[in-house]
Structure 1
Amino acid sequence: MSDPHPARSPDREDRRTFLQKVAEFIHPGPDSRDELISTLADAEDNQVIDAESRVMLEGVIRMADLTAGDVMVAAPRMDLIDIDSRYDEILHLVIGTAHSRFPVFEGDRENIIGILLAKDLLKLQRAPELNVRALLRPAVFVPESKGLNDLLREFRGNRNHLAVVVDEFGRIAGLITIEDVLEQIVGEIEDEFDIGEEGGDIFALADRTWRVSGDTDIDRVGEAFGVTLAPSDEEEEGRFETIGGLIAHEMGHVPRRGESHRIGGLDFVVLHTKGGAVRWFKVSPAAADDRAG
């Protein structure tokens, strides 16, 4: 006969102990959000929670004050697909930007008619009678003032991963993804293109260019391409360690997506930035005529 009072599992005991510790530590409760964040810092100091848990909890608290407009990719930096573009042009954009989803417009960039998933382009290989218009998914539009808490709930509910952000006049203000929202809680999310040092920070793309991480050591980039990369001002030599830092210095400002710079016979195009630093460059050798000029 089974025991009418089974022993509590070790996992449940541990969980209960943790909750008791938290309750005891924060009693009486904080009176403001700042006090709550301060309490979490104290909880970490007292080893009630670890550093990673504190950061995530703070992210959840701070996210309540953020809107879609705070974290969106602004309209001028959006990578859009023209519905009238040729298949090879679309494929080139998909490969070059490495996004998984693209807003598609017709005629005017303000006229977004749907969302194209990069993986859906594979269907055109097997069914050439299809066209891009047939592959489009409905676009979701949200106002700039949309709270991130509400937006995350909607993303989870409708299984969309991207929304187009509009301003109070109905114009396109930018776009936001579920990754942008989640990163406010858990920090930066590594995706399939965020290759760690052990996996390589320079790798070839299908269009015979290379993707180079902004934090790649300058000497490593130079060795990979057989060139010498150094500041134009000799007095600055040795001051920079990463290719992103060197190019930002040479450009004289924080690089923005889409900007390009030539150095050491190589063309560097900014593909992705985060937190004021370049995450990825697209790199190709400068044309012979350009190098000569």
Structure 2
Amino acid sequence: MNHAEFEWGLIFWNLLLVALLVFLNGVFVAAEFAIVKVRQSRLAQLSGEGSVLARQALRINRKLDAYLSATQLGITMTSLGLGWVGEPAVDDLIVTPLLERFGLAGDNKLSHSVSFIIAFAIVTFLHIVFGELAPKSLAIRRTEGVALWLSWPLHAFYRLFLPVIWLLNHTANLVLRAIGIEPAGETETAHTEEEIRILMSQSAKSGVIDKEEMKLFDNVFEFSDRVAREVMLPRTDMDVLYLNRPFEENLKVVYESRHTRYPVALADKDHIVGFVHISDLLTADPREKHDLRRWLRPILTVPESMEISKVLRLMQKRKSQLAIVIDEYGGTAGMLTAQMILEEIVGEIHDEFDDDLPSVVIKGDVISIDGRMLIEEVNDLLGIEIEDEEVDSIGGWLFRLLEGNVEVGRSVTAHGHVFEIAQAERLRIQRIHVTKAKSAPASDATDAGASGREPVRGRNGEEG
């Protein structure tokens, strides 16, 4: 074998080594992304079905710190090897012959510098494209398959270099502790609420989950933030039976309202003493005199600031379907039922006796909303940002803007919408019609941001 054949043979083996190092770098990169992104629940399912690969991948996923260190070690080793072998091999095979072809080769420093820069650029390109980007994209798009097929090779590499990985991990932890930072572990990889919302939103956009599932998911998160005051039926809407009234009169309330359970008060709603079940009342002879005390059952009372999740747990513990909400002064603020709380998650539940309109009714350009809807729910519905720390409901907000002048037909223009009272009872706004505000001339427009007030229009459209 002459010298030229030996050199070409050496170049060939170096190039083969370069290709192998790029491939191994890609394997470690793909493994790193796959073991992080793969769903542990899916691996557990496959493992339960008898998949050996899934069983090994599950073990790796449960020891992420250690195996991520293994992938990092592999990436570092292959990258260093690529830098050591790749540049000379590419220089000898591609760059030097190319420079000789154009008469630029020589022993001067300039030709060596140009040769090094070109060879380095080519190796870097191969490293990034085939050793980083392509494997990463493959692992993201085929997470499950990559995690399964690379589980055993990664485990073998981990076992082979376990002493080195252990030393590197402990050294890194010592450095972190020396500067006052506690190393993170697998148990600290939990997602925040906002991160989970983003993940679920992306899943909804890609069609993995439908809109109804996404709505339920949002409701679950918002459920934990709700308090009794925001969900309760206000005291003005409560149907109450009174101990100081004739049985026939109380029975008339039952026939008209058709509820299952009724709070019972002494003389007013601030003195609730218990509740009665409709079955007890309907089985009694209406021609006889009856005292509601004979059917009276203890009723749960909760403060208006209590979270509804805690109220629900309390109801379950006490086996109660009804709770009276008490304000800060000890008076009755409203009433909560188990159904009201559950509706915060699953949406409104109507039965054959419900005559009320749904909270939201859309007819053409008009959105009819219940005055008791929470401001934040209206914000989500309309895509606006009403803020008011004094009231919780949209009816209360409109009442404040109208300064208590409640009259059907009166309206307020705010946040690009017209809010018009559609139904009211005395001073309580029951239903509001919302429409998009038409652009007004600049001279007639009121800048709410500057003045703090919006145009208020009366029944006939005049400003008030």
| Pairwise TM-score range, normalised by the shorter structure | 0.5 to 0.7
Matches of 1:240 and 1:51 in 2, distance apart?
Answer: 23
**Shift in Å, 1:130:** 4.8
Does 2:256 correspond to 1:88? no
The corresponding residue for 2:330 is 170
- The partner residue of 2:257 within 97, 103, 128 is 97
- The partner residue of 1:157 within 317, 332, 347 is 317
Could you say if the C-alpha distance between residues 187 and 122 of structure 1 is closer, same or farther in structure 2, counting changes exceeding 3 Å?
same
The corresponding residue for 1:137 is 297
Matches of 2:311 and 2:340 in 1, distance apart?
Answer: 11
- The partner residue of 2:347 within 187, 193, 204 is 187
| Maintained 8 Å contact 1:74/1:173 | yes
- The partner residue of 1:78 within 204, 213, 238 is 238
Aligned length: 207
1:16-31 matches, cutoff 5 A:
16=45, 31=191
**Once structures 1 and 2 are overlaid, which stretch shifts more, 146-155 or 45-54?**
45-54
The corresponding residue for 2:281 is 121
Could you say if the C-alpha distance between residues 59 and 43 of structure 1 is closer, same or farther in structure 2, counting changes exceeding 3 Å?
same
Does 2:208 correspond to 1:43? no
Gaps of 5+ in 2: 1-40, 47-53, 55-60, 62-142, 145-187, 371-406, 412-419, 434-464
Does 2:237 correspond to 1:69? no
Normalised to the residue count of structure 2, the TM-score between the two structures is 0.38
More RCO (CA 8 Å, sep 6+):
1
Matches of 1:248 and 1:164 in 2, distance apart?
Answer: 31
| Maintained 8 Å contact 1:30/1:36 | no
**Once structures 1 and 2 are overlaid, which stretch shifts more, 33-42 or 126-135?**
126-135
| Maintained 8 Å contact 2:325/2:334 | yes
**Shift in Å, 1:49:** 2.4
| Deviation beyond 3 Å, 4+ runs, structure 1 | 28-32, 126-130, 211-215, 238-242, 247-252
**Shift in Å, 1:62:** 0.9
Matches of 2:304 and 2:291 in 1, distance apart?
Answer: 32
Matches of 1:190 and 1:108 in 2, distance apart?
Answer: 29
- The one-letter code matched in structure 2 to 1:93 is V
- The one-letter code matched in structure 2 to 1:142 is V
**Shift in Å, 1:132:** 1.6
The corresponding residue for 2:417 is none
- The one-letter code matched in structure 1 to 2:247 is Y
**Shift in Å, 1:52:** 2.0
What SS does structure 2 have at the residue aligned with 1:88?
helix
**Shift in Å, 1:83:** 1.1
**Shift in Å, 1:92:** 1.6
Q: Percent identity?
A: 28
Matches of 1:239 and 1:156 in 2, distance apart?
Answer: 43
The corresponding residue for 1:253 is 421
The corresponding residue for 1:60 is 220
Gaps of 5+ in 1: 1-11, 195-210, 216-237, 261-269, 278-293
Q: CA RMSD in A?
A: 4.1
Matches of 1:33 and 1:107 in 2, distance apart?
Answer: 47
Matches of 1:181 and 1:30 in 2, distance apart?
Answer: 28
